[in-house]
Structure 1
Amino acid sequence: MSPQRLVVERLGHRGEGVAYIGDRRVFMPYALPGEIVTAEIEGDHARLVDIVEASKDRIAPICPHFGHCGGCAVQTLSAGAYAAWKRGLLEDALRNAGLALNVAPIIDAHGAGRRRVTFHARFEAGTARVGFMAARSHEVVEIDACPLLAPELEGALRAARALAAPLASRGKPLDIAITGTSDGLDVELRGAGPLAEDEWRALIAVTETHDLARLTNHGNLVALRRAPRIAIGAATLALPPGAFLQATQKGEEAIATLVLEATKDARTIADLFCGVGAFALRLAARARICAYDNAAGAIDAMAAAARTTQGLRKIETFERDLSKRPLITQELEAFDALVFDPPRAGAPAQAAEIARSKTPIVIAVSCNAQSFARDAAILLSGGYRARTATPIDQFRYAAHVEIVAVFARDGAVSPRKRRLLG
């Protein structure tokens, strides 16, 4: 296949350069807008062969694996161009949905780096390859380090390789999810299935050798040396196996700051899709909180953390799958404010119920610009007014952006005021 000469028009929402061959779009990893390149074309994708004329915004990558490892989409954009592209992910999603929201300047929330990481292990002839996937591929790129990880993940890659080794004879794809905590590395194996006795013993030995805090396999405990804990505001939480956390500590704090500001006058708040309580455990210092999630372990851990933290009110917790059984309008109207932070797919059913309610303040948190735009459109069609949408970059160099948006219903009053008014 002979390389073709292309002009890169823009960056797509996956961080790939977009060029055109006639009316046909071609997506090319690692190419930047304005560049003239040669590329090998296959369908609507292309492999960058050479940069004939580089963008004025091109800089050197920070990682020697960039360009092969697919963990990062964009490392070679100058800071200003990178921030504009990241903010543009939200602007483009809103524009495509026909929405005109005020988008605030982007907040850099990389902080000390990622506090959780998932390594992929693939096996060939009984030997493990451990690293990240190549761009648009199932090929595992072995790496020797990742510059985006927080100091708490020191030793995570070495531990992942050691954990993969006893399972190599299976030949099954394995994911190794690792979270850095104040008590060491918390590791969850996914894809291994039930363990044989010899595999169990070997993994326990790795846990000892690498001083892991905990090792679980599909949520089942393999070894516990120390209960892994994290700080959330003033609380200390015992982390359940496989629990969701924001990618960076600074990212969690940036989101929580916006949530706290938007709910400063609220007396009663519902935290929907609450997880382990990144918001509830902060909000409980000044308001009555009802927290809902379908992960029993997460809400139990949050409630326990609230009980043992001085100055926090008791958090009322409810195990409920809000995607299948959202809070209905009458339930929602018991609250002065709502916070909802659904999975990447969003929460259209819950958003529809919120849109019919008279709750004064709604804060939507999302890690996916497209599903956020869809849910925002539902709220706006129900009469809510968007105050602002703030993009937060806690996924440095990745094609993801966190979003916090505040919606208000003009003329709505709090439940307490409604009671006073009779």
Structure 2
Amino acid sequence: MKVTIERLGHLGDGIAEGPIFVPLTLPGEEVEGEVVDGKMSAPRILIPSVERVKPICSHYKACGGCSLMHASDEFVAEWKQGVVKTALDGQGLNAEFRPIHTSPAGSRRRAGLAGKRTKNGAMIGFHTRGTGTLIEVPNCQLLDPALKEIVPALIELTIAGASRKAELSFLVTQSLGGVDVLVKGGKPLDEPARVELAQIANKHELARLTWEDSVVCEISAPVQVFGSARVNPPGGTFLQATPQGEKALVSAVLDAVSGAKKVVDLFAGCGTFSLPVAEHAEVHAVEGEKEMLKALDHGWRFSTGLKHVSTEARDLFRRPLLPDEFKGFDAIVIDPPRAGAEAQIAEIAKCGVKRIAMVSCNPVTFARDARVLVDAGYVIDWVQVVDQFRWSPHVEVAAKFTMP
């Protein structure tokens, strides 16, 4: 069957009339292949787009980690800007867009890998596109070199800690102290296992090894730098995917709250935004996870030159801050999960704080929440798209809202 690709879907697949979903294609391309259940899994490109480029990764056709490496950088940048614009259009909103910031290749400091035992040892890698089969990716163009260098450690951890048929899940994060490793899905952690795993971690100089919810060993503090502060996050804590992407988002937030003397940071995490903002203003950081706030507070207390930072452990989905609790604040920073912050945004819309910096990893919920603020009288000053997940359909957004 021959079809022409009309557009890309939100997951990066090409979409032809039908709809028929065709991976690894671009708008305007004519492709041919067998269609099963509305999907052409193995398309043959008959007429390629002028935006098509040769993928720079040897694993691209099989690996499921990237989906847009066949498109030019200019096309991807414009498409990602368009994804956010389309989400805003859907809410009847428009805004000034700043130029997109795209993280460079080889900059992912944080990634999820899988490990599986084999007859001759173990293998570490990503899952193939559409099948879930594990493949090794030694030439991956996304990962920071430090993450690829610890694959031998992950192999040994898999041999030691995985059952014969189960897969291990690794969350690996580069830090000042080395690579921080969190493992899920392994054997129970009894004392002999703890000793063996700690020996592997020491041999490969991992900063920290966490097995499920237990720290096996911490050899060197897995420190992250937020502004001028140094923070030791709990294992598995959310962090921005690349240092460059984080820098772009922090810069946008600082711009949005510039001039404020007292700022509240909602969904503050370990201080990605709280601590840089504290170089200029007092900050009240609110976060649901107590251990993350503990790390934030410790980072602030052992820093110099920062203004006062207070913390509050609070589930902002069940107990959002109410309008009277925003009294005295000049600006709000909010960086919710993918689901957005519908309940909290509803309260912010009634609070009257003049400046808001919103960060989001989901254009759809960002646009939904923006609509609520605009209906309450706020204006979208600008939108900044940040592409930390290069060659994927994922998009990060920062925006400034002001009350005239």
Instruction: Indicate the TM-score class for this superposition, using the shorter chain for normalisation.
Output: over 0.9
Structure 2 counterparts to residues 329-368 of structure 1, below 5 A: 329-368=323-362
**1:156–1:17: structure 2 CA closer, same or farther, 3 Å change rule?**
farther
Q: Aligned letter for 1:404?
A: A
Instruction: Give 5+ residue unaligned stretches, structure 1.
Output: 411-422
Choose which of 2, 8, 11 in structure 1 pairs with 2:8: 11
Structure 2 counterparts to residues 242-253 of structure 1, below 5 A: 242-253=236-247
Structure 2: distance between partners of 1:167 and 1:217: 9
Structure 2 counterparts to residues 16-415 of structure 1, below 5 A: 16-20=13-17, 24-110=18-104, 113-122=107-116, 128-192=122-186, 194-410=188-404
Q: Aligned letter for 1:183?
A: G
Instruction: Give 5+ residue unaligned stretches, structure 2.
Output: none
Residue of structure 2 in register with 1:414 after alignment: none
Instruction: Check the 8 A contact 1:256/1:278 in 2, yes or no.
Output: yes
Instruction: Check the 8 A contact 2:383/2:397 in 1, yes or no.
Output: yes
- Number of equivalent positions: 404
Instruction: Check the 8 A contact 1:26/1:46 in 2, yes or no.
Output: yes
Structure 2: distance between partners of 1:10 and 1:29: 12
TM-score (norm 2): 0.95
Structure 1: distance between partners of 2:52 and 2:118: 37
Deviation at 1:313, TM superposition (A): 1.9
Residue of structure 2 in register with 1:419 after alignment: none
TM-score (norm 1): 0.91
Deviation at 1:193, TM superposition (A): 6.1
Q: Aligned letter for 2:240?
A: Q
Q: The residue matched to 1:169 in structure 2 has which SS?
A: coil
CA-to-aligned-CA distance 1:166-217 (integer Å, 9 cap, x gap): 2332533321000001111100012226324443333222212211111002
Structure 1: distance between partners of 2:89 and 2:248: 25
Instruction: Check the 8 A contact 2:162/2:185 in 1, yes or no.
Output: no
Q: Aligned letter for 1:144?
A: P
Instruction: Check the 8 A contact 1:9/1:18 in 2, yes or no.
Output: yes
Deviation at 1:40, TM superposition (A): 2.3
**1:156–1:324: structure 2 CA closer, same or farther, 3 Å change rule?**
farther
User: Which deviates further from its counterpart, 234-243 or 249-258?
Assistant: 234-243
Instruction: Check the 8 A contact 1:119/1:132 in 2, yes or no.
Output: yes
Deviation at 1:332, TM superposition (A): 1.9
Instruction: Check the 8 A contact 2:106/2:141 in 1, yes or no.
Output: no
Structure 2: distance between partners of 1:343 and 1:123: 34
Structure 1: distance between partners of 2:106 and 2:226: 16
Structure 1: distance between partners of 2:327 and 2:40: 52
Instruction: Check the 8 A contact 2:335/2:359 in 1, yes or no.
Output: yes
CA-to-aligned-CA distance 1:374-395 (integer Å, 9 cap, x gap): 1111211222111111111111
Deviation at 1:123, TM superposition (A): 5.2
User: Which deviates further from its counterpart, 136-145 or 319-328?
Assistant: 136-145
CA-to-aligned-CA distance 1:297-349 (integer Å, 9 cap, x gap): 11111111111111012310001111111111111233110000011111111
